[in-house]
Structure 1
Amino acid sequence: MTSHPAIDLTTPPSGTGCVDCEATNGWWFHLRRCAACGHVGCCDSSPSQHATAHYRATGHPVVQSFEPGEDWFWDFARNDVLDIGLELAPPSSHPEAQPAPGPAGRVPQDWVRQLWR
């Protein structure tokens, strides 16, 4: 596949961490990047689930993992993995030195108990 209606291959990510968690001094478990606008949000295991909130607010259905070494896409509208073989504009993940969960210094000691399961 060379294109998808919900994906813009030219838009860079909005940053190296969850935009919304950064704005509220929150923390995240893993990161997801909107394939339409580049918004980086936290995954559904994270306390605030900002990637899903972004989908609900904007209707942008496709995200890609923003974790080092991962390149899978998820379609919220279909509730399924997309096997599309596309590459978004770099960078394709947060910096490898950035911990997960993150960001460093804001993750509570009992973070495992706070994850959504």
Structure 2
Amino acid sequence: MIQIDSGELEQELAQLQNLCEEEQVLSSASDRARSLLGKLWQDGNANWDAVANACQWTEEIRKLAAKFSGTDLSRMEVLRKQWASIITEHSDQLKPGAPLGEVIPSNCHQPLSLIP
């Protein structure tokens, strides 16, 4: 039979409590990463090059929305929401050679090539 004195038991329980709290923090961070990165997160096994490409692509889309909307911030927000919907639901149709990809100006294909 293993015997643990009360001081050791108290220390072990404190470490266990700290571990549980850290696991909760990690779980919450994982949930946040999943909500931000979607399928790129892969339960913490993300391909960080793909994540970096997605960030770059997002930046390019934001720049295009700003360029097309000028100083009209509400127009920029509408464009970003519409484009996000199209990209999320029809990304396969946006790539060069695909139906929507054929009507996109050639200078826009570079950011579209970053679609995961």
TM-score of the superposition, structure 2-length normalised? 0.25
Structure whose residues are more often strand by fraction: 1
Q: Which has the larger radius of gyration?
A: 2
TM-score of the superposition, structure 1-length normalised? 0.25
